[in-house]
Amino acid sequence: MREKRLFYNTISSLVFQVTTIICGFILPRLILNAFGSEVNGLVNSITQFLGVISFLELGVGAVVQSALYKPLAEKNQEDVSKIISSANKFFTRLGQILLIYVIALVIFYPQFAGKNFGFIYTATLIVTISISSFAQYFFGIVNRLLLTADQRGYIQYNAQTLAVVCNTAACFILIRVGCSIQIVKLTTSLIYLLQPFLIYLYVRHHYSIDRKIKYIKEPIPQKWNGIAQHVAAVILDGTDTIVLTLFATLSDVSIYSVYFLVVKGVKQLFMSMTNGITSLIGELWAKQEIKELNKTFSWTEWVIHTGTTFVFGLTAILIVPFVRVYTLGIHDANYIQPLFAALIVAANAGHCLRLPYNIIILAAGHYKQTQNNYIIAAILNIVVSVVTVKAWGLIGVAIGTLVAMGYQTVWMAVYDSRNLIKWPLRNFAKQIFVDGLTVIIGFFATRMIVMPEATYIEWVFLAVKTAIIWIVIVGVLNMVFYRDKMQSMIHKICVKVKRG
């Protein structure tokens, strides 16, 4: 059953992320063409400012999911109901705070960021974009956490995939017929309102949850210890756009959003393949199946590092040629930024490299013990970004994120080794060495390959040639340094092919 659910979660999450990436490239391009770089920058800026409200989530979502592993594994419905009841109360209050925050944003945001558009234009855009956030906090997020913790994440991924496809089709039509950006974003919010409703119906039908259950002792003991982790995550994802809004221009925000669109898509596509692993490791830790846990972690670390190096190595080579094609014909901002591209790709690669170590920390529920790491990473990102943005603009904010990610990755690996699974640090050092060697060889082997014309067909040819070379390099190096894992993986693939 574990393997079956892991397969369902991985495939459905992968389909969702691929769909999101494809649709995510279509809509921004349509907005750029129809409304220009400044409107695109305004939309992305407002979205990030609304994302700041998730500061108030305070990491409770991750703590709730961790708290659910044990009662779900033991089929203790009473404890599950208590955790869900406590979480519902928290997120309902958060939705109420969100309402106050949106009102404040409507009043003050147009004064410093939307001066070129007028108060009504900017204020209505804020309201329309914020609608789906209300649905998430009032009755959507707790049900999603329950499904993910119970290794049924594929339910929510399928609902999200449906919403993304419907939204893209509707917005494409609305932009083509000349509707305003407010109407387009209102349609997006209304479509995304359907997601939590569909998930709620599934949970109500398949789980016996008493949402009004009474409890004396707080069922989520570390509810407030996830604060640092969550704040750091919000800062690492949202600081760059907010810093650019305050200290640069909306055109810079637009340039950043196009590059971030690519790296975020690649990152989430890659991370989607670990969603099932997170809940599996959570269950293994809850049952203290240490031998199986170490075996699973060993494979998880190798697969994530190898996959990250390959995927983000390709991205670093291909992102500028892609942006050149994607923004062809748009001349109101300079979208060709190779140094910024390399730094933002490296920073997001760091986010993925830390995944195996972060998964163990979350599975073990070590929130209080690790919060200083997250606080320091958040401070590093803010300080470095603010100090460097005036001098280097886009490059400065990318450096801030890269420094924070590098610090977190090393710290988490050391913490896991000393306090949780006792994973030897030499394994981590070896993995980092192989990652770096792969990137260096891959870069020099493919840097002379060029795209003769700025077309999607030429970019695809470039991508295929580059990918073939990188596959060979990754395969050869891992056969040298990780022969046992490569042979085991090849054997498993051959067996499945024969069975198929």
Q: What is the pLDDT of residue 264?
A: 83
Greater confidence (274 vs 431) lies with 431
Q: What is the pLDDT of residue 294?
A: 81
Q: Is the pLDDT at 309 greater than 60, yes or no? A: yes
Q: Is the pLDDT at 330 greater than 90, yes or no? A: no
Q: What is the pLDDT of residue 292?
A: 82
Same domain, 90 and 122: yes
Q: What is the pLDDT of residue 227?
A: 60
CA 58 to CA 231: how far, in whole Å?
7
Same domain, 455 and 317: yes
Rounded to 5°, the CA angle 31-36-38 comes to: 110
Residue where one domain finishes, among candidates 191, 224, 257 = 224
Tens-place pLDDT, residues 109-150: 887 765 677 788 888 888 888 887 666 666 677 888 888 888
Contact (CB, 8 A) for 384 and 399: yes
Q: What is the pLDDT of residue 346?
A: 93
Q: What is the pLDDT of residue 308?
A: 92
User: Average of pLDDT values for 296-324?
Assistant: 91
Same domain, 242 and 184: no
Contact (CB, 8 A) for 163 and 108: no
Contact (CB, 8 A) for 333 and 258: no
Same domain, 402 and 499: yes
CA 482 to CA 480: how far, in whole Å?
6
Same domain, 59 and 202: yes
CA 477 to CA 322: how far, in whole Å?
28
- CA nearest 68: which of 2, 118, 139, 142? 142
CA 126 to CA 424: how far, in whole Å?
49
Q: Which of 153-167, 207-221, 265-279, 313-327: highest mean pLDDT?
A: 313-327
Same domain, 198 and 96: yes
Q: What is the pLDDT of residue 458?
A: 92
The DSSP string of 401-437 is: HHHHHHHHHHHHHHHHHHHTS---HHHHHHHHHHHHH
User: Average of pLDDT values for 387-395?
Assistant: 86
Q: Is the pLDDT at 476 greater than 90, yes or no? A: yes
Q: What is the pLDDT of residue 462?
A: 92
Residue 481: pLDDT band with limits 50, 70, 90: very high
- CA nearest 454: which of 339, 324, 348, 331? 324
Q: What is the pLDDT of residue 275?
A: 64
0.85 exceeded by pTM: no
Percent of the chain at pLDDT exceeding 90:
17
User: Average of pLDDT values for 262-272?
Assistant: 81
User: Average of pLDDT values for 398-419?
Assistant: 89
User: Average of pLDDT values for 253-272?
Assistant: 83
Q: What is the pLDDT of residue 298?
A: 85
Q: What is the pLDDT of residue 430?
A: 93
Q: Is the pLDDT at 500 greater than 90, yes or no? A: no
Same domain, 164 and 256: no
Q: Is the pLDDT at 229 greater than 70, yes or no? A: no
Tens-place pLDDT, residues 192-219: 888 888 888 888 888 888 877 887 777 7
CA 242 to CA 257: how far, in whole Å?
12
Q: What is the pLDDT of residue 59?
A: 60
Q: What is the pLDDT of residue 477?
A: 94
Residue 116: count of CB within 10 angstroms of its CB? 11
Q: Is the pLDDT at 478 greater than 70, yes or no? A: yes
Q: Number of structural domains, the chain?
A: 2
Q: What is the pLDDT of residue 235?
A: 67
Q: What is the pLDDT of residue 315?
A: 93
Residues spanned by the domain of 63? 1-209+218-224
Q: Is the pLDDT at 225 greater than 60, yes or no? A: no
Q: Which of 20-34, 226-240, 351-365, 455-469: highest mean pLDDT?
A: 455-469
Same domain, 437 and 381: yes
- CA nearest 322: which of 12, 9, 2, 29? 29
User: Average of pLDDT values for 230-253?
Assistant: 74
Residue where one domain finishes, among candidates 164, 197, 224 = 224
Q: How far apart are the first and last CA of the chain?
A: 20
Same domain, 69 and 172: yes
Same domain, 395 and 349: yes
Greater confidence (97 vs 160) lies with 160
Q: What is the pLDDT of residue 228?
A: 61
Same domain, 134 and 254: no
Tens-place pLDDT, residues 77-106: 888 888 888 888 877 777 777 788 888 888
Same domain, 200 and 282: no
- CA nearest 149: which of 49, 54, 62? 62
Residue 445: pLDDT band with limits 50, 70, 90: very high
Q: What is the pLDDT of residue 320?
A: 92
Q: What is the pLDDT of residue 23?
A: 85
Percent of the chain at pLDDT exceeding 70:
90
Q: What is the pLDDT of residue 1?
A: 58
Contact (CB, 8 A) for 29 and 172: no
What per-residue string of b and e applies to 236-274 under the rule 16 or more CB within 10 Å gives b?
bbbbbbbbbbeebebbbbbbbbbbbbbbbbbbbbbbbbb
Residue where one domain finishes, among candidates 198, 224, 250 = 224
Residue 327: count of CB within 10 angstroms of its CB? 20
Instruction: Report CA dihedral (182, 184, 188, 193) to the nearest 10 degrees.
Output: 60
User: Average of pLDDT values for 391-412?
Assistant: 89
Q: What is the pLDDT of residue 4?
A: 72
